[in-house]
Amino acid sequence: MTDRQRDEKLFSGGRIFDGVNAPVDGHALLMRDGRIARVAPASEFAGYAGLREDISGKTLLPGIIDSHVHLFLAGQIPFGFHMMLNEKDDCGGICSMRLMNGRFSRNYIDLDQADRTLAMLENAQANLRGGITSVRDMCGRDFYEMKVRDAIDAGQHLGPSIVCAGKGITITGGHGWWSGLEADGADGMRRAVRENIKAGSDFIKFVVTGGILTMGTDPLRTAFTQEEIEAGIGEARRLGKKAAVHAQGNDGIARAIRAGATSIEHGFELRDETIEEMIKLGVFLVPTLAIPDAFRESGKGFSPAMRDKGLKFAEMHVDSVRRYYTAGGKLAMGTDTGFPYIYHGNNARELFLMCEAGVAPLDALRAGTSSAAELCGFANRGRLAEGYWADMLIVNGDPSADITRVSDRAHHHAVYKNGFDVHSRLGTEPARPWPTPFSR
C-alpha cells in the first residue's frame, strides 16, 4: 500500500459490522491516516472523489482480537516430551518425563535468543495475516515477546498489537513451571508480580489450577492457597494490572474470582453458583474451545496418557462455556494458540467452535472484537467508529448469518492494520516452519 492509499480510502457497497451492533447495509467507511474518519450512510459520500473500494457482497468488520495466545509456541506436540505415566493413570498420577535426546523439540524452547525472537515475530505476523489484528500473549519466554511487542508498537515491523503477561505465576512444580515464574507464599506471590511488572508486563497471569500439558498436575485441583491467590491478585490490582487467571476446576475459579480476577481462562468446570458470581462481578470467560477441538481432531498425535487427560475434560469444557453464555456471562474470544495443533493464523476458527457450542454468531463476533478489546485494554481498537484505528477485516458474505465467513480464512478478502493492507505487505502464507534443533 502506498502512503497515499493509507492516507485516505472509502469502503462502500457492502455490509458493515461495527463490533457492537448488527451489520448494516447502505453505509460506507472512510479511512484516513490509519484511522477511521467516518462511518455513515453511503449517500453522505456521494461526491467523494478519492480512492474507493467496492465491497459489494462482502462484510467489513473490526479485525479479530485473540485474548489468549502464546507467541513462543508453535502448535507442535508438547515440547518434545515423551510422557510416561505409571499404572495410576489419572490426573494425580506420578509422571516421569524424559526429553528427546535430552532436549526440547521445535517449540522454540531450544532456539537461541535471536532465533527465538524472530520466531515470535513470525508467529505474530502469521496471526495478522489470518485476520487477527491484536493479541494478548498469555505467557512468553524470558520476556522476549515484549521485544516483539515494542518493535511493532514503534513501527519497526508490521504486526498485531500485543499486550503481554510476561511469565505466568505458578507454584513450584505447578502447571507451566518450565516457562513460568514459580512462587510460594504470599510474599513470593507479591515478588513474582513485581518481577513481571519490572520486565514490562501489561497484565499478570496466575496459574491457579493444574493443566493438561503439565503431566502430574490435575486441572481440577487448586494449586495456590487462598492466601496466596489473594496476595498475588491483590498486588496486581494494587499496581494497576488486571489479573488473568488460568483456572480449570470450579474450586480454583471460585477462589480466583473472590480474590478479584479479571478473567478466567479455560473454565473447564463451571458450576451454576460460580457462573452466577462471575456474572455479578463482571468477570470475563475466555473459552479456548480450540483445546477440546485439538484433542478430538488430532488426538492420535498425543501420547495415550495425554490424549486421555485432554478428552476427559472436553465435554465438560464445552458444556461449561454453553451454560455460561446462556446465563448471560461476558465472553472474550481466546484460543490458546501455540498449544499442540492450534496454529498461529488459524485463530479465527475459535469463532466457529463458539457457535458450535451454542453462541449466536453475532455474539461470537462481539466476543472477538469489542468485548475482547475491553478485556485486553486495547484502546481505540475492536470497533469501527470515528477515531479508532483502522484494524479491519473484509470477508466474503455475511458472518452474522454464517460464522465460517470469518472463521475460515478461505473467505477472507483483505486485512488492514492501522490502515495498512496486510496481505500486500506480508503476503497470505503462514509463517515459515522453523527448523528443529536436531536439524541444525
Q: Does 431 fall in a domain?
A: no
Whether residue 175 sits in one domain with residue 158: yes
Whether residue 72 sits in one domain with residue 43: no
CATH of the domain at 276: 3.20.20.140
Q: Does the structure show a pLDDT above 50 at 188?
A: yes
Q: Does the structure show a pLDDT above 50 at 100?
A: no
Place 178 in a pLDDT band, splitting at 50, 70 and 90: confident
Q: Does the structure show a pLDDT above 50 at 438?
A: no
Q: Does the structure show a pLDDT above 70 at 107?
A: no
H-state helical runs in 178-248: 185-199, 226-238
Q: What is the pLDDT of residues 46-64, one digit of tens each?
A: 999 999 999 999 999 999 9
What pLDDT was estimated at residue 77? 65
Whether residue 419 sits in one domain with residue 296: no
Quickly count helices (H) and strands (E) in the chain: 14, 21
Q: Does the structure show a pLDDT above 90 at 433?
A: no
Q: Does the structure show a pLDDT above 50 at 97?
A: no
For residues 66 and 335, the answer to whether their CB atoms sit within 8 Å is yes
Q: By residue range, what is the domain housing residue 31?
A: 3-62+383-426
Place 141 in a pLDDT band, splitting at 50, 70 and 90: confident
Q: Does 436 fall in a domain?
A: no
CA–CA dist 269, 272 (Å, integer) = 10
Give the residue with greater pLDDT, 95 vs 190. Answer: 190
- Cell numbers for 408, please give them: 475460515
Domain count, the chain: 2
Q: What is the mean pLDDT of residues 418-440?
A: 70
Q: Does the structure show a pLDDT above 80 at 80?
A: no
CA 56 to centroid of chain Cα atoms: 31
Q: Does 421 fall in a domain?
A: yes
Place 102 in a pLDDT band, splitting at 50, 70 and 90: very low
Q: Could you tell me the pTM of the whole model?
A: 0.92
